[in-house]
């Protein structure tokens, strides 16, 4: 049997940037092992400036609750003094199991149970969690603020998602995948928080200009200096 800690990508902790403390862990739960059952998925995401970097992701099928607990335990053990800000678990279909996970890690990480069908109010508009978090992730993709692994299974699960009457849906494929990476990623993104973190950064933006010939009587005090510089450039 492969050690659970080896299920995470090798050396993934080296991808974490010690300057950015906002890190979220998202967990999309499934607790069956049939060939066409949905896999569980865990994603750890770090917010770097305005970008959400999915540092590591793992999908698995198991009916042994010790497996995801060991995976979460490994994900919470971060270098550089970093800590997971919040563990967000999709508790829509497995609320009892999700509650037990929350209790187990209560002393190490804040855990939020997310029920997709429950309603929240965002900017004076009522919507459910599925719609809210799905829109946040899709908008971040559109704006170019998502960095994700260059893995085919990740891409495939993202592409399974489509919009349906104002919310999101996905069809189950022949292996039982059901956009599980999409759901774990949006949960990990929510766990990071929405505010910018880490050191402030500023970069100059290039601007266009149209050169003008200097006219007699120009009153710009820097005009003469510019004339001198242009002669020696």
Q: What is the pLDDT of residues 204-218, one digit of tens each?
A: 655 665 555 555 555
CATH code for residues 4-202: 3.30.420.240
- Per-residue pLDDT of 6-60, as tens digits, reads 788 889 999 999 999 999 999 999 866 666 688 999 999 999 999 999 999 999 9
Q: What is the largest CA-CA distance in the chain?
A: 86
Q: Which of 10-24, 52-66, 181-195, 213-227 comes out lowest in average pLDDT?
A: 213-227
- Per-residue pLDDT of 134-176, as tens digits, reads 999 999 999 999 999 999 999 999 999 999 888 899 988 888 8
- The residues spanned by each domain of the chain are 4-202
What does the alpha-carbon distance between residue 188 and residue 72 come to, in Å, rounded to a whole number? 13
What does the alpha-carbon distance between residue 53 and residue 159 come to, in Å, rounded to a whole number? 19
- Which contiguous run of DSSP H or E holds residue 172? none
What does the alpha-carbon distance between residue 124 and residue 214 come to, in Å, rounded to a whole number? 55
Residue 134 near residue 168, CB atoms below 8 Å: yes
What does the alpha-carbon distance between residue 99 and residue 105 come to, in Å, rounded to a whole number? 10
Q: For residue 142, which phi and psi values (nearest 5 degrees)?
A: -60, -40
What does the alpha-carbon distance between residue 156 and residue 161 come to, in Å, rounded to a whole number? 9
């Amino acid at each position: 049997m492969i050690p659970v800690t080896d299920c995470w990508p090798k050396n993934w902790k080296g991808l974490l940037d010690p300057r950015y403390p906002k890190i979220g862990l998202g967990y999309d739960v499934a607790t069956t092992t049939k060939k066409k059952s949905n896999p569980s998925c865990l994603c750890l995401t770090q917010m770097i400036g305005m970008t959400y970097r999915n540092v590591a992701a793992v999908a698995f099928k198991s009916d042994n609750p010790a497996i995801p607990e060991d995976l979460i335990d490994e994900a919470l053990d971060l270098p550089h003094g970093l800590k997971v800000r919040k563990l967000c678990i999709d508790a829509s279909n497995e609320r009892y199991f999700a509650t037990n996970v929350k209790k187990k890690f209560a002393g190490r990480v804040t855990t939020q149970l997310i029920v997709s069908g429950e309603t929240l109010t965002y900017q004076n508009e009522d919507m459910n969690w599925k719609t809210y978090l799905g829109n946040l992730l899709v908008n971040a993709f559109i704006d170019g603020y998502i960095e994700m692994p260059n893995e085919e299974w990740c891409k495939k699960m993202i592409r399974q998602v489509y919009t349906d009457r104002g919310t999101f849906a996905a069809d189950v494929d022949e292996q039982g995948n059901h956009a599980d990476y999409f759901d774990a990623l949006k949960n990990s993104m929510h766990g990071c928080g929405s505010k910018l973190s880490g050191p402030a950064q500023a970069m100059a933006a290039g601007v266009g200009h149209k050169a003008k010939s200097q006219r007699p009587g120009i009153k710009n005090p820097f005009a003469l200096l510019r004339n001198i510089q242009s002669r020696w450039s």
